[in-house]
Structures are given as C-alpha cells and as structure tokens.
Amino acid sequence: MDQRAIPPAHHRRRRDFAPGATRGFDLVEAGFALALIAVVGVLLLVAPTEPWGPVGQIVPVFIVACLASSVNFQVGQGWSTPMQVAQVPLWLLVPPAFLPLVVAASMIVGSAVSNLFVDRHKPVRQALLAAGDAWHAVGAAVMLTLLGVPKAEVAAAGTFLLIFGGQVVADALYAVLHGPIALRLSFRQALLSTLWIATVDLALLPIGFLGAYALSVAPLMAFSLVPVVFLFAEFSRERDARLSQAMELSSAYRGTAALMAQVMEDDHEYTGGEHAQGVVELALEVGARLGLDPGSLRDLEFGALLHDVGKLHVPNEILNKPGRLSEDEWVVVRRHPELGQEMLDRVGGVLGDAGRIVRAHHERYDGTGYPDGLSRQEIPLAARIITACDSYNAMTTDRAYRRALEPAVAIAELERCSGTQFDPSVVRALLWVLEERGAVDARKTGGRWSSTKSDPAVA
C-alpha cells in the first residue's frame, strides 16, 4: 500500500502518487480541465486580451515553464515543481484572459516530456489531463485584470504579492473542490497541502521577479532561470535515490515485522493473521484521514501489525480461556504491551520506534489504562488510533469467550466510550472510515458492549 498522502494543489502529477484516487479519476481530471476552459471563456469576455509581449520573450519563458513543470520534488506530503520562476514573467507577457491557457499548455508539454523520458510506463496522451492543474493561474489572471499588469520594478513589489495572493486563493479553492472528489481527502488535508506549496512558491517568487526584470535587458536572459530548474531537478533526483534506499531498508523491516506477525499467527490465531492485518488496514485509513505524514504512517503500520507481539509470552491457556480471568491471569495479560516493546527494542531501527506505540496501545484517553497510566496527548497518536481500531476489530471478531458483535453494536460502543477510553477525534475519523466501508451508522443503533471481560480493548 502506498501511504503517501498526496495533496491536490497545483502543478502536481497526482495520478503518480494518488492512493485515494477514485475509479473515475481521469474522468474527474478531464472535468476540471473542461471547467477551466469554460472559465477562460468568461475571462475572454471580461479580462484584457491585449497586449501580448514580444514573441522573442514569450517563447524562451514558455520553454522554461515547460521544463520547470516536468521537474517534480516532494513538499510536505505532496509534490510540486519550480514552475513559479517562469510564471512571474508570464504575468507580464501574456494578457490576463489567456494566462490560464498558456500555463495549462506549459503543464501539458512538461507532463508529456516527463511521461516520455521519465515515467515511460505512462501514455503521453495522459499529459492532457495536466491542464486541470492550471486553475491557480485563474487567480493571478483575476488580480491582473483588477490591478493592471505591473512593471518589473521594485516599486511594484506590493502588486506582485497581491497577484501571488490571488493565485494562492484560487489554488486553495481548487484544492478543496478537487481533493474530496478525486482523492477523497479532507478539507483540512487539501488546505494544508496548499499552504505547503504556497510557501515554496513564495520563496521562488523573487527569483521569478528577477527573471522578469532580466527580460528587459535581453530576451534570452529568460534562460538564466534554467540553472534554477536543473538545480531542483538534481536535488529531486538525489532525494529520490535516498528515498529508494530508505524504501529498501523499510522493506527489510517490513519483512521482519511480517515474520513476527506470522509467528504470532502460528502461535495464537486471533492475535496474528486476520486480526493483526485487519487492525493495520483500519488504522492506516484512520491515520490518512487524520493527515499523518508518511513517517508517522509507517510507524503506525508497524505498531498496528505488532501491537500484540508481547502476547507471545502469554500462555495459550490464558489467552484462550473461555471463562473469566483470575487476578493473577490478568497480571500476566497486562504485561504484554511492555513485553512487546522489549522485543521490538531488541530489533531496533524503525521497529524500535514502533515499540513505544506498542507499549501505549492499552492506555486510555482518561488516564486509567496500562501500563503507564498516560492520558490524552501523553499517549502517542498512533497508539490512540490503534486502541480504537483494535477495539472495534476485537468486538467484531469471534473470541473464545463470546461471539462477534454486530458492527452497529461495536460502533455504538465506540461512541459511548469516546472521551473516556478513546480519543474523540480518533473515534470521529474511525466512524467516517467505517461509514465509507458501508458499516451501519452508529446513530441508528442503541447497542451496547456486553462481555465477561472488563476491557473490550484486550484483543
């Protein structure tokens, strides 16, 4: 499973890294591209269509824009390009009514170049869908219409910032519309992605301004921006190489974790196997919903997969006991989070990091859990997510001491224990995920947890 959450802000090639994309992703992209054309039609009626800058200046800048849009680098949880360095000169050279079309054309060419020489498994024709990423240029076009096209001089710095502000606003509006529809992202994730991209673009804005100023000296000075683009390309290439090495190491850790999970499954059927994998899948969906970064999602995955690894030290006759546990037996069972951490600490690396999460997965939001009595934000967020997902999975799974509960009853119990056993924000995210999966709406149930055990989270 690709765990990178990819925001829908402008100039990202989202389809490369869009695990949450809907089946009709390309259709949605085409829809946004057609909508952009419709908006350009309106701009042709209300925005200036003249004057165009000299062809000798527009062509070099357009070439730089195409090159820049073909270079991708990671920003926060998503991807961007250094295209801002070419967009500023385009503000001065292209009439506002045509600006979105020119920006869209550069993105299509840049995406086609990337598909042709880098992502060769992707058809070049798919680059046409990149046109929808040019919505941010609509904001710049509107501000240029209202303020007029400025000159590349220091006195106009405020005007350039206002135009950039219009670009950011348009990008944010596009993000909150596109993200939930195409990628199933929350509004918060969409807006956060826009903030990350806007920060990078703001840093590139002065370089774009210098490029625009250089055009007044000589048209070919536009190519002075190319070294900046290639610098980003080189940084991106080196980062991808390091990421590839990290992924290989991560695969080794995953292999170790999978082996440990297999041992659990062979030793205790409900502790490993389907239970562990079910908790992993549910926890990752909740973590993505809450906007966890890739590193945190990785730790969450390992913690969820191995949250019960300490039960390898718990005798089968206790775990599989059909009746009520004695006090001495409870003491043994309650040691499994600590024992799990000790086992993972011996492995070290990212599994050692997951050990802290494993230790805390039976802590309660109100501070009455074990082994350390942590509460609220003292409990790692990953552990709070696992606690809720583990409990739901435990309630809806057959156990030696009871039959599986209906999802409606389990969901009602999550709501009842929200704020005491479970983090309310995690419960809200979990209920959203369960509703997306088609589980019964908790608001329509009156079911309550009933068990011979006192802790429904013991899985």
Q: How confident is the model at residue 180 (pLDDT cuts 50, 70, 90)?
A: confident
354 within domain boundaries? yes
Mean pLDDT computed over every residue of the chain = 75
Q: Which two tokens stand for residue 24?
A: 């009709």
Q: What is the pLDDT of residues 184-238, one digit of tens each?
A: 666 777 777 788 888 889 989 999 998 888 887 777 777 777 787 777 776 766 6
pLDDT value at residue 413: 84
Q: How far apart are CA 396 and CA 393, in angstroms?
A: 5
- DSSP letter for 127, please: G
**119 shares a domain with 219:** yes
User: Which pTM does this prediction carry?
Assistant: 0.53
Ramachandran sector of residue 10 (left: φ over 0; alpha: ψ -120 to 50; beta: rest): beta
Phi and psi at 128, nearest 5°, equal -60, -30
CATH code, domain with 78: 1.10.1760.20
Whole-number percent of the chain with pLDDT over 70: 71
Residue 140 has pLDDT above 90, yes or no: yes
**223 shares a domain with 307:** no
242 within domain boundaries? no
175 within domain boundaries? yes
- DSSP letter for 8, please: -
pLDDT value at residue 261: 59
Question: Of the residues 177, 204, 232, which one is the last residue of a structural domain?
Answer: 232
**284 shares a domain with 213:** no
Phi and psi at 91, nearest 5°, equal -55, -35
pLDDT value at residue 402: 59
**300 shares a domain with 226:** no
Ramachandran sector of residue 184 (left: φ over 0; alpha: ψ -120 to 50; beta: rest): left
**315 shares a domain with 193:** no
- DSSP letter for 397, please: S
Q: What is the mean pLDDT of residues 12-23?
A: 40
Structural domain harbouring 175: 14-232
**201 shares a domain with 55:** yes
Ramachandran sector of residue 375 (left: φ over 0; alpha: ψ -120 to 50; beta: rest): beta
pLDDT value at residue 262: 57
**124 shares a domain with 28:** yes
pLDDT value at residue 121: 53
274 within domain boundaries? yes
**275 shares a domain with 228:** no
262 within domain boundaries? no
Phi and psi at 75, nearest 5°, equal -135, 115
pLDDT value at residue 341: 82
Residue 395 has pLDDT above 90, yes or no: no
Q: Structurally, how many domains does the chain consist of?
A: 2
CATH code, domain with 298: 1.10.3210.10
**73 shares a domain with 219:** yes
Question: Of the residues 213, 232, 251, which one is the last residue of a structural domain?
Answer: 232
**283 shares a domain with 371:** yes
Q: What is the pLDDT of residues 73-122, one digit of tens each?
A: 767 656 778 889 999 999 999 999 999 999 999 988 888 887 776 665 55
**317 shares a domain with 205:** no
**272 shares a domain with 220:** no
Q: What is the pLDDT of residues 319-355, one digit of tens each?
A: 666 667 777 778 777 788 888 888 777 776 667 778 8
